[in-house]
Structure 1
Amino acid sequence: MTDDLNEFGDRLRELRAWRGLNMRTAADLAGISHAYWGYIERGEKAVNNRQVLEAIATAMRVAPFELTRKPHLPTDPETRGAQSRMVELIDVLSGYRVGERPDIQPRPWDQVVAESLELHLVHRPACAYATELEILPRLIKELLLYSTGGPHHAEALTHLIQVYDVVASLTGRLGYVGSPPLAIERMHAAAAELGDPQWCSAVDWVRAQTLSGTDRARQYELAVHVADSAPRERPEVFGMAHLTASIASAAQGQADTARMHLDEAAQIAELIEPDVSPWPLSMMVFGRTNVGIWKVSIGVELGDGPRVAETARGFDVSPISVSRQVAFWTEMGRGLLEGRRTRQAGLDAFKRADALAPQQLRNNHFAREAIANQLRHSRGDDGMARDVRYLAWRMGLAPTG
């Protein structure tokens, strides 16, 4: 493990110097105080929400990922092997368009479908990154072949859309920023070939969701368009579009708009019979539980801090996927760590996220900033200090636990 406790501040200082800006000018461009900028560069304060991160990135004329420097991966042999397989996945993603036929002998269709379902229903929800990277390159090639014609043409296209969504999500989480847009282009091509308005709208939502911190105003525009135009037969699509519009608004400091879209999503979730919709497989997991998780996330973004505990009181995340459970506990941890009396509860939330999917937690920039901030100010050898050191070690922020 490397000690990158102040990786964000060091990178920010490098960029500011490269731009030839003094600290006061840079802070003015970002719309934050000179003192706060100094605290960030020195590693004395954390960057704890999307609005500040994206304002700093805009001031430095870089994308947010250039400040966060993902991926942050463990150094165990299994993960190193998974990383080497990322090269193969990106080669397949860039090397084959929808409609092209890879020169391979595919497995029987029922075996291909079985592996696709296992990917969506087992590996992706469990954040099994290494397994996903192992099976994706071959699976994409086989689905491309089956999607070019024959009796399985339409079904192969629906599987292909969902597999490309896995690619967009996985490569985005791990910091391969050029790959998600390309995966979405492949999704659009497959949806266009399928010609189903419901799938086309679902892909339009993925595009809006994946845009993320690069252009929040455009993200909001795209999400609202999907919310207004998606076929009413699938409330999952326009429900998720409202959630995306909510986070886009919150990241721009528009609290009322964010909560309006959150309320819209909550009303739509009541139209879904199961608590978590199974359609489309692992793409959306829309429903009442997921809306509840987003409420916590939006609350953290809008500065609710420890008050998110009230939002989540009595909330059960067990019906939803492991990856969404990790999102819940991570957001809870971020909020609770902002209060002096709730810090241990915040650390406990992070520990729950780490136990479920450490690779997802360690690649969350805001979680890393929160733990790095705790480690800087941690004193003594009580249980809380030990928990901070343990989490810092698990996340690669300190050389020893």
Structure 2
Amino acid sequence: MTDVGRRLREIRSWRGLTLREAAGLAGISYSYLGQIERGEKPVDNRRMLEGIATALRVSPVELTGKPYAPAIAAEAETLASFTALGDMLTGWWVGEVPDTPPRPWEAVHADFARLNEDLRPRSDYAAQAAMLPELVRELLVYAADADHREQALTGLVQVYHASGALAARLGFAGLPTVAVERMHAAAAQLGDPVWVAATAWARAHLLSGTDRRRQYALAVQVADTAPRERPETRGMANLTAALAAAAQGDADTAKTHLAEAAAVAETIEPDVSPWPPSMMAFGRTNVAIWKTSIGVELGDGAAVEQHAKDIKLESITVSRQAGFWVDLGRGLLSERRTRERGLAALLRAERLAPQQVHTNVFAREAVGDQLRSARRDAGGRELRGLAWRMGVAPAG
């Protein structure tokens, strides 16, 4: 039984719903929901996951069972550090000044640069979780210093985004919302419309999957109103709107926003814009990667492989490369004839960013589904090794 299947059964029983009642509320067949619950079928897209969560009146995060029990030492270190990060996010507002002195500005700035130039691009979750609490504290102190105020506030916007994105990926419900509120406060103190718009995009992007309609509305608002001098925000807002539409099964709207994002990307010289550091990575390469993700969401299956042909992956961060290989792998694994290439894509993603892959619910569901096929078809050692490293137990 998968994480989702196990949690589905637990929550459904707690709600006092029969399998047939829950299936009716989720809009899927009774037999299919039973197969998911027993671990015989995967949950392979956001629309299905969020539909089941809505039927059970819980967050999708509760249904996935995140945060997952650590499978490797780095994942255990990440979870151990998250208490301090959560306390820092909830315990201090922007404008409040911690009473412990910071390190010299040069040391703080060096860590901030390392976060953006190394840790986030590589999806080193353990090092991020260890660094972020102290970095937030020190930037709050420097935000009250006239000589460093603007740099510190700009840094806080990005560090809060890093915190929210990490919390969302690991499944710490509620913390992404807190991080976005802190981003908004820092951007408001800056008074810069560019950063205010970037924060508004982050609000839409990190919104819980329980309200895709609201996510879509917020993303479209940013796409329509963000300052023209930074097209990256308008482009990313269109990508977020595309994902929100795809998660609702609206393929035409999703493709319209993908086309709008692609048009914005053509106005930017590099394939990947360096602004803002590690937050967006917007450009032609990222639009192509999102096409793959949204194609998987819309059920294109192995056909998403066509997006791999012309993507310049070397121009984008390791994190985004890993995201591409995960989604390509998911698409290829959905069809028997391309399963070997699908597994190779997931293994490639794992080599690039293991923690990112191990905590991806859809990668875990795909691997669990392949394990079931492997038991029937005498599947291979590589698949079992990947499942073991992810902490995905074989279906029994």
TM-score normalized by the length of structure 1: 0.95
Consecutive unaligned residues of structure 2, counting only runs of 5 or more, are none
2:91 to 83, 95, 109: 95
1:231 equivalenced with 2:233 (yes/no)? no
* Whole-angstrom distance in 2 between the partners of 1:219 and 1:54: 13
Select the residue among 178, 189, 195 that pairs with 2:174: 178
Given candidates 246, 249, 252, the residue that maps to 1:250 is 246
- Post-superposition offset of 1:163: 0.5
1:385 positional shift: 2.3
Residues 73 and 363 in structure 1, CA contact (< 8 A), matched pair in contact too: no
The whole-number CA distance in structure 1 between the counterparts of 2:47 and 2:215 is 14
Aligned partner letter, 1:158? T
Q: Deviations over 1:268-315 (max 9, x none)?
A: 001111111111101101001110100000100001000001122232
Q: Does 1:26 align with 2:31?
A: no
Give me the whole-angstrom Cα distance separating, in 1, the residues matched to 2:71 and 2:361: 18
**Other structure's SS at 2:209 match:** helix
**Contact preservation (8 Å) 1:127, 1:360:** yes
Is 1:378 the counterpart of 2:374? The answer is: yes
Matching residue of 1:390: 385
Secondary structure in structure 2 of the residue aligned to 1:105? coil
- Contact map agreement 1:161 1:191 (CA 8 A) in 2: yes
Aligned positions of 1:105-254 closer than 5 A:
105-254=101-250
2:11 pairs with 1:10: no
In structure 1, the partner of 2:270 is 274
- The 5-angstrom pairing of residues 320-331 of structure 1 reads 320-331=316-327
Cα-Cα RMSD: 1.4
> Does the C-alpha gap of structure 1 residues 21 and 308 become closer, same or farther in structure 2, counting only changes over 3 Å?
same
State the identity %: 57
Of the three residues 55, 66, 83, the one matched with 1:59 is 55
TM-superposition CA deviations, 1:105-150 (whole Å, max 9, x none): 2122122112101111111111111111221111111111111131
Instruction: Provide the aligned length of Structure 1 versus Structure 2.
Output: 394
- Asked if the contact 1:73/1:362 (under 8 Å) is kept, the reply is no
Cα distance between partner residues in 1 of 2:393 and 2:315: 34
Deviations 1:55-103 (A, max 9, x none): 1111111110111011225344444333222111111111111111111
1:358 maps to 354
Q: Which segment drifts farther, 136-145 or 196-205?
A: 136-145
The separation in 2 between residues aligned to 1:57 and 1:74, in whole angstroms, is 24
Residue 333 of structure 1 is matched in structure 2 by: 329
Q: How many angstroms apart in 2 are the aligned matches of 1:338 and 1:381?
A: 16
1:42 corresponds, among 38, 41, 44, to 38
